Every structure is written in structure tokens, then in C-alpha cells.
Amino acid sequence: MWYLLHQLWLAAVQQETSIFSPGTEQGTWILRPHVTFVFFSSHTPCGDASIIPVAEEEAQTCRPLSPLLVPRGSSLSSGVQWNEREAEETAAGPFPKRAKVAAGDSAQGAARPPARGAAEGPAAVPSPAQAMMDVHRTGAKCVPGAAGDSQQPGSEYHAVGLLRIKPGRGPQTASMSCSDKLARWNVLGWQGALLMHLLQQPIYLSAVVVGGGCPYSQEAMERAIAARCWHVLHLPDGFQVYKVKTLQSCLHFNHSRRAVEVSHLQGQGKVVPCGAAISWSEVPEHPLDVTSNGFKQGTTKKAIGSLKSRSRICKVELFHEFLKLVAQIPQENLPGTLRAKRWKTYWEYKEAAAGYQEAWKELRSQAFCTWVRNSRDYLNFA
């Protein structure tokens, strides 16, 4: 979001070259033609996309990622130098949140296809190979109060298509699984509600790429990110269930969880996730954000919770940067939702993005009924 805010600042305030061009509606902007965004994950997204039949994963071949998906010279490129000839030849924390289910939500969860491995009909008799088939387990737990996994042996252990809470070592939180978040972005766009004040259309990912060397299923990825929402109707203008491409790269990420586990020697202790995170944005000022356990690196125990301990990509900091941008845009160039400037809190600005909120309402009511939402208390800041 830092990158998008900077690009909007270039277009709306500085009137310099940007990835955005003026929209047809007052005060709004749209992406320039041929500007696309690709999401890369070094591992299969947790949740529904990770429920993969073991036999299928072992037999599936890896399709190389075509360089055509990422424009050469684009800031979105991974920096990998492609051999064009080869490509042509081979192309074929301390303050845990409680999970809260929105009032009025159904207990049935998202509509889902029948579980894999279930009998097709009364006469279907599984072969010995089918009976022994298993699925990769996901640590993401089903939303409390909604339909759950049968946890039967083999391929019936998980039910597919369900909303799940992100796994973790600490108390259960309100954070949805990576698969669920990607599915939401595939309908609402990944820009969020705030930026929809300034955008005429949501920004969708053109492709989701998973690194090589980890379990992967094309069917599971498509089901988790798009197919669960194909039936969603009555979305506002500009919103859609996007036909995102899902691929697996043949390139292995040298520091992936699986690579670390393979190179880990016995007797060195248990391999656990690192609490540090590095975020980089293509912006001129403070492009790097390094945190440890959610706080800016170097924060002392006494400073935890202070302004200095905040990550630059936390909701508060992003909201303040959004307000700075709005304040610098001439009043006559603002969209109607921002001219009155009667909104004060983060929650009020988000709710004022009418089109986005209407699309989110339709998505929840038709597909993601049991989506866990944060308490409004966490969003009422200014």
C-alpha cells in the first residue's frame, strides 16, 4: 500500500509520471494499460489451497513460469534473468485478539464443493490405491461455530472450501488464512477500502505464483482463490470475481521452510518460524521496514506500544499517510466522498468507501458468511 500511496501522490499532487492515469469520475484514478501486479509466495498459501492430495502432489509436474507474466524492466519483476530461448523451449504477539464472528452470520460457512475422495455414487467402490490416498494437512483451523473438518483418516481428514483461521503458536486470533485473504482480494481488490476513495476500479492481481519445491495443486489453488466465489452476483460496478492465473515456479526459494528443514542437522534443535520480518516498497523515503515480533527492530521492552515501536506498514501509519495525501490534493480535485472531510476515524473512512463496502457485503452474504471480523474497537483510531 505504501507503493500505491506514493504513486497516487505523484499523479494527484506532483502531476508526474505514475502508474495511474485520470479516471472518468471526478477525483478518481485508474491503472495505466499494461500495468499488472504479480503475487509471489515462497510456499503454498495456508488454508484451503494447502489441502492437496498427496498422490496428486507427487505426480504433478512443475510448469515453468513464463517471463511474459512479468513485464521486463518492471518494478514488479523478481529480478530473475530469463533465458528467452530456454523459456520458449520449456513453455507448455503481546496483545492477542479474540476471534469474533459477525452478528447474523450463518453457521454454514462458505459454499463448498464436496470433499475430495468422497464416493461419486452408491456404486462407487474405491480401489486400494484410492483408499490409501491422503491429503496434506493445513494448520489453519476452521472458523469457530461453523462447519468443521471430519478428521477422518486419509483423504477425508479435511473438508475443502471452508473459511479458516490462520495458524500460529500463540493464542487464536481473528486473522483469516492466506487462502481466504487471497480469495477476498480476488473479488474486492488488494488495494483495500481506503484507497477506493481515490480509485475508480479495484486493483486485482494478474497472477499468483508459488515457489518451487513445495506441495502444489492447480485444482486446489483455483478452488481456494477463485472457484469458491464464482457464484457471487450483484457486485457493484468495477468489482468482479477475477480470473486470476495461478502457477508454480520451477525456481526454488533457497530459504523456504522446506529447504531449511532439509538442510537442518539432527541435534540442532527444532526448526521454528522466525519472528523477524523485512518489508520493502519502491518508495524514495524509508523503503525498508524491519520488525521483530511485530515491533520495529531495536525496540526495547519499555518502548513496546509507543509511537517509536510502530511498523511503517501497520494500519495506523498507513492511515496517517493516506490522510497526508488527501490533505495535499486540491479540494476541487477530490472525489465527493472526501470533500466534506467529516470523517475522523480509520473505521469511518473505510465505511465511507460505499462501493467497496457494498461489494464486501455481497461477498460475505453469498460466499463468506462466517468471515471473522475484528472488533470495531480495534479500528476506531484517528
The closest alpha carbon to 277, from 251, 307, 311, belongs to: 311
Give the chain's length. Answer: 382
The closest alpha carbon to 374, from 140, 176, 187, belongs to: 176
Helix, strand or coil, per DSSP, at residue 358? helix
Q: Report, as an integer, the average pLDDT of 95-107.
A: 43
Q: Report, as an integer, the average pLDDT of 300-315.
A: 91
Angle at 157 between CA 154 and CA 161, to 5 degrees: 130
> At residue 207, does pLDDT exceed 50?
yes
Q: Are 8 and 198 in contact (CB under 8 A)?
A: yes
Q: Which residue is listed with cell 515491533? A: 295
Helix, strand or coil, per DSSP, at residue 124? coil
DSSP H helical ranges for the chain: 2-9, 54-59, 84-90, 128-131, 178-188, 192-195, 218-225, 257-263, 315-328, 336-339, 346-351, 354-366
Task: Read off the C-alpha cell for 190.
Answer: 488488494
Percent of the chain with pLDDT over 70: 79
Task: Read off the C-alpha cell for 261.
Answer: 528443514
Comparing 20-29, 179-188, 270-279, 363-372, the range with the smallest average pLDDT is: 270-279
pTM (2 d.p.): 0.79
Q: Report, as an integer, the average pLDDT of 219-237.
A: 97
- Report residue 196 CA to chain centroid gap: 17
Q: Which residue is listed with cell 460475505? A: 364
pLDDT at 212: 92
pLDDT at 65: 52
**289: β partners:** 279
Helix, strand or coil, per DSSP, at residue 199? strand
Q: Are 10 and 16 in contact (CB under 8 A)?
A: yes
